[in-house]
Amino acid sequence: MISTMAMVQIDPSEADDPEKAKRADEFALLEQQLKKDEELLKTLQEKINREQKGLKDAVLQQENLLNLEKKIAELKKQLKLKEKLIVEKNTKAKQQETWKLELHKISEDHKRLAVQEKELLIELDKKKEELSERKAKPKEAEVKILPGGSGVKVNPFFIECNKQGLVLLDESKQPRILRKEIRKDERLLKLLEQVKKNEQNSIVFLIRPDGVSTYYDANKWANENYARNGKLPILGQGHIDLSLMNKKP
């Protein structure tokens, strides 16, 4: 189209001039190329603008990223401080709980010791009372057990009956058996079995004035175990002397 316009603008008298027609065509081509170059330049400029905008956005994003990283670092720092505070609070809470348990234990120990102290004081008062009674009362005369004269041969096994329980007098250590343990004690049961094996054997219960109830329990237990037995009342609380008895178990 540019070439046609150029041809139109040529003077009719020069239309037949080949040289001028050639220049006109070259001019039209140059105009077309210039237009293309302008369009290309415009395209390139738009691309440059887009790249610059993208670069600005990238820089902005980088700045935002740096700011975000700073905020994250600050939040992490605050979080560590909070965690430290929580750990300290938990530690204090555990310490307080430990102190409470220790205090409770000390309180319980104090109560237990108070009860023990009371019991010991009662026991001490009893001992003092017994000591006073011993000092006030004359010493009980020794009680000697004499051999019987019935003519029937008997192997006696002597057992003392007092308020607290029994004393197996024929054994070297003379063990004591509480009244409530009479039916549980293995030593007494063994003695009953020994007596039962021989008709000449017999248990002789030496009954103190305060040991009647103990005798009843022991006598019943001996009878239930088929152990022959008899009784002999003892006056007073003096030491029992069996040295005159010539007993062969």
Half-sphere exposure of 248 (CA within 13 A, CB side): 2
Single-letter amino acid, residue 165: G
- 182 and 165 in contact (C-beta within 8 Å)? yes
Q: What beta strand segments (E) does the chain contain? A: 143-144, 155-161, 165-168, 176-178, 201-207, 229-233, 240-241
**Mean pLDDT per 10-residue segment, the chain (249 residues):** 44 67 84 87 88 82 83 86 85 85 88 88 85 65 63 84 93 90 95 94 94 96 95 88 65
User: Which pLDDT value is given to residue 181?
Assistant: 95
- 136 and 127 in contact (C-beta within 8 Å)? no
Pairwise CA distance, residues 96 & 104, whole Å: 12
CA 152 to chain centre: 70
Instruction: DSSP for 123-155, please give it.
Output: HHHHHHHHHHHHHHSPPPPPEEPPPP-SS---E
Per-residue CA distances from 77 to 12, 82, 177 (Å): 90, 9, 77
CB atoms within 10 A of CB 144: 13
Enumerate the domain spans of the chain. Answer: 1-96, 143-241
User: Which pLDDT value is given to residue 66?
Assistant: 86
Q: Would you say the C-alpha torsion 48, 51, 53, 56 has a positive or negative sign?
A: negative
User: Which pLDDT value is given to residue 103?
Assistant: 87
